[in-house]
Amino acid sequence: MVRSLSLLGSTGSIGTQTLDVARSLGLRVEALAAGRNVALLAEQAKEFRPRLVSVATESGAADLRGRLAGCGFPVEVVHGLDGACAVASCPGAEMVVAAMVGVAGLVPVLAALESGKGVSLANKETLVAGGSIVMPLVRAKGLALHPVDSEHSAIWQCLWGAPEKSLSRILLTASGGPFRGRDRASLAGIGVEQALAHPTWKMGGKITIDSATLMNKGLEVIEASWLFDVPVDRVTVVVHPQSVVHSMVEFVDGSVLAQFGRPDMKLPIQVALSYPDRVAGDCVRFDPFDCGPLTFDRPDSKTFRCLALAYEAGRTGGSLPAVMNSANEEAVALFLAGRIGFLDIPRLVEESMDRHMAAGFVAHPDLEAVLALDARTRTELAVSAGTDR
């Protein structure tokens, strides 16, 4: 079990729950990175007394320095991408929890790995956009990459001690989101508030919208493919609205193992940090007499087109998953800002993927190519959405 950590994205949903776990397990927090929520980061720093903290902007760093002046412990305040990378590679931290949202987390995760640190990964966009860069580094350096996503934690746990090559397929569960069972026509007028009302999980804004479009499940299919080294077509999505079975693994002999639990991210965070131990924390216990009937269904990837797009991107590989991810990030941001409709998200993502395949596909993108494609995809999407002014 690790004794110390650095945390990227400390002010978010996963970040704050990671600090709950650190508090309950008595882990030392060496460094914290956040975006714009300087007030919360200052509170976190006062409680956990890290040696290094980072925020997104220079003005945020000046504000944070003011809030931490005279706090009675030595703390360095840095900012921007360099700041997040310094947090990711902070000496003294045994593991980095990657809980920033979006492809913005890719470079800091690479900085953590380059500095020889294991990573507990919540930030799935990192693997979707940069799996072909991250995974060889993890293997070459023999580092730990522990999944934090509840589904991937479940799969990981089901595979502990499994003989090599015994995995037949992954059954990745999905709640189905707030619009499960609806048809396409009824999704046209969906507003931001409706899409943010997830039935079982309380999460950050971007992932909540991804859950409503089923892009979140699509991103997870690609994430599972990288983490467990299986093609996307051996990852089957199963709609399970109760979110109690966090995923299943089918072995070559037909045996299926599942992991059960209440919808509470603190447990997978704790599992990632305590591996290979099992420790008593303060996670909510599962009670089989209190969970009601459990149901399993096929996803509707005609209505929720994003899931089909993610399979297509995962099958094609190369630069297409990165472009799909960047287009989705940009489209979700525009939807959250009230500038496009709900059904514009899959439409704009698909148009971006088509544009990319027509001109610009890269079979083996390096980091520079992924970052350049990210910028270009966002600009082109804004133009095609008519929101570039």
Instruction: Identify the residue among 95, 109, 129, 203 touching ligand NAP (CB under 6 A).
Output: 203
Closest CA to 175 of 247, 125, 234, 256: 247
Rule CB under 6 A: say whether 218 interacts with ligand NAP.
Answer: no
50 touching ligand NAP, by CB under 6 A: no
Q: Counting contacts by CB under 6 A, is residue 84 touching ligand NAP?
A: yes
Among the residue ranges 9-17, 303-311, 321-329, 371-379, the one whose residues contact ligand NAP (CB under 6 A): 9-17
Interaction residues for ligand NAP, span 182-201 (CB under 6 A): 201
Per-residue binding letters, 147-176, with ligand NAP (x by CB under 6 A): --x---------------------------
43's tokens: 């509170």
Q: Say which residue the tokens 């040696």 belong to.
A: 51
Angle CA(153)–CA(24)–CA(158) in degrees, nearest 5?
15
Q: Is 88 in the site for ligand NAP (CB under 6 A)?
A: no
Distances (CA, A) of 374 to 130, 234, 250, 321: 11, 28, 35, 11
Q: Which is nearer to ligand NAP, 10 or 377 (CB)?
A: 10
Contact of 302 with 34, CB cutoff 8 Å? no
Return the range that interacts with ligand NAP (CB under 6 A); candidates 119-127, 304-312, 360-368, 380-388: 119-127
Classify each residue of 90-121 as buried b or exposed e, where b means 16 or more C-beta atoms within 10 Å of its C-beta. beebbbbbbbbbbbbbbbbbbbbbebebbbbb
User: 22, 30, 31, 35: which one contacts ligand NAP (CB under 6 A)?
Assistant: 35
Compute CA 165 distance to the chain's CA centroid, rounded to the nearest angstrom.
27
Give the chain's length: 389
Site map (CB under 6 A) of ligand NAP, residues 364-383, x = contact? --------------------
Residue nearer to ligand NAP on the CB measure, 168 or 268: 268
Binding segment for ligand NAP (CB under 6 A), chosen from 7-15, 127-135, 190-198, 234-242, is 7-15
Give the gyration radius of the chain's Cα atoms: 20
DSSP 162: P
**Residue from 96, 101, 110, 309 in contact with ligand NAP (CB under 6 A):** 101
Smallest distance from ligand NAP to CB 317, Å:
21
**Which residue's CB atom is positioned nearest to ligand NAP?**
12
In the complex, the smallest distance separating the C-beta of residue 147 from ligand NAP, rounded to whole angstroms, is: 9
Query: How does DSSP classify residue 130?
Result: H
Q: How far is CA 127 from CA 192, 219, 225, 321, in A?
A: 27, 9, 10, 9
The whole-angstrom distance between residue 351's C-alpha and the CA centroid of its chain comes to 24
110 binds ligand NAP (CB under 6 A): no
Specify whether the backbone of 290 is left (phi greater than 0), alpha (psi in -120 to 50) or beta.
Answer: alpha
Interface positions with ligand NAP (CB under 6 A): 9-15, 33-37, 56, 84, 99-101, 104, 122-125, 149, 201, 203-207, 265
